[in-house]
Amino acid sequence: MEKRKKVLTGLQPTGVITLGNYIGAIKQMVQYQDEYESYIFVADMHAITVPQDNKALHENIKSLIALYLACGIKPEKNTIFIQSENEYHANLSWLLECNTYFGELSRMHQFKEKSKKSENFTAGLFTYPALMAADILLYDIDYVPVGIDQKQHVELTRDLAQRFNNKYGETFVVPEPLITVTGTKIMDLVNPDKKMSKSAENPKGVIKLLEDSESIRKKIMSATTDSETLVKYNPETKPGISNLINIYSALTDKKIPEIEEKFASSNYGTFKREVADVVIEEIEKIQEKYREYIESSKLDDILDEGREKTRKIAKAKWEEVRSKMGIGR
Ligand code: TYM
């Protein structure tokens, strides 16, 4: 029998999980879990590359696991774990850092953007992509479902894998990013030229997965559009409407031309109302399940199992890499 392909993704437990995170990463994982051997984790060591409130961070970690389950990630089909509970992520990250060029890390868009926000950014923020490469390369992952903002990091992971394989012999599987056509980048509802982001200045532009329905409806109804009245997809000239079309498409699985046709004679108010209905229906289902899971003692069992399984796999890969690099006994 042919070996099943492997997928992996991670999210940072930064409290606010957005509709963008859901469409860009979690929903994709739910779609792939039947077909592929799936790994999903909480990237808590990535979260500490910028300042965090330690108490809030601690709570957000379990909350994110409960949210994964509520979104439809099935424990029997996924290996679910917390990054910091598996020391081989940091261990391999160091070995990879010593095979990564300063210039490569300097060119990462996310680093350039985030380092602008503070004079005292950390060394961890700079080496962040090497840790992300370790997350992926430890498990021989074939596909990495992410939003387009993470594509450059997966491409660097590919480069590092190829470089290592060329120098030391076949060691790593070279992974590919998986980016959905419509979920590529969900934009901010107020400033549709910016991505919907946890750290947006104006909270009106961001839909959170744990937000109440009334507030979601208000945000969608007042989303920025344009001076026309035509529901037509054109991200350049109609970024606001195109973003709502993308959201609608991602949640209903309808193709863009089909949506344009369906709303051909609707005004923006009618279209927005339907988008709000679809988003709220999806999010209410998630929230109901979230409340069950967050109270459940099963979370610890799932995480214990994930930790044991991933540590075994990761240890073997790390030892292989270490020995090929010539360090240790
Ligand atoms: P993070 O926590 O910033 O985001 C989690 C996932 O959500 C996607 N995303 C979006 N997708 C569409 N539209 C948006 N507006 C939007 N905003 C965020 C991100 O692309 C991401 O897929 N470095 C990663 C976490 C990570 C990781 C990994 C991912 C660590 N190690 C290994 C994959 C594989 C991050 O900070 O994602």
pLDDT at residue 172 is higher than 70: yes
- All structural domains of the chain: 6-184+297-325 (3.40.50.620), 203-290 (1.10.240.10)
Question: CA 206, CA 186: separation in Å to the nearest integer?
Answer: 10
Q: Which protein residue has the closest C-alpha to ligand 1 atom 29?
A: 10
pLDDT at 263: 97
pLDDT at 183: 60
What does pTM read for this prediction?
A: 0.95
pLDDT at 198: 85
Q: For residue 129, what are the CA distances in angstroms to 57, 142, 151?
A: 21, 18, 11
Q: What is the pLDDT of residues 283-309, one digit of tens each?
A: 999 999 999 999 999 999 999 999 999
pLDDT at 1: 65
pLDDT at residue 201 is higher than 90: no
Backbone angles phi, psi at 103, to 5 degrees: -60, -40
pLDDT at 100: 98
Beta strands in the chain (DSSP E): 6-11, 37-42, 78-82, 143-145, 176-178
Mean of the per-residue pLDDT values for the chain? 96
Question: CA 149, CA 132: separation in Å to the nearest integer?
Answer: 13
pLDDT at residue 184 is higher than 80: no
150: CA distance to ligand 1 center in Å? 6
Pick from 11, 22, 40 the residue to mutate for probing ligand 1's pocket: most ligand atoms within 8 Å of its CB. Answer: 11
Identify whether 195 is a catalytic site residue.
yes
Please return the burial class of 170, using the count of CB atoms within 10 Å of its CB with bins 0-12, 13-18 and 19+.
Answer: exposed
Catalytic residue among 198, 204, 254, 289: 198
Average pLDDT over residues 113-137: 95
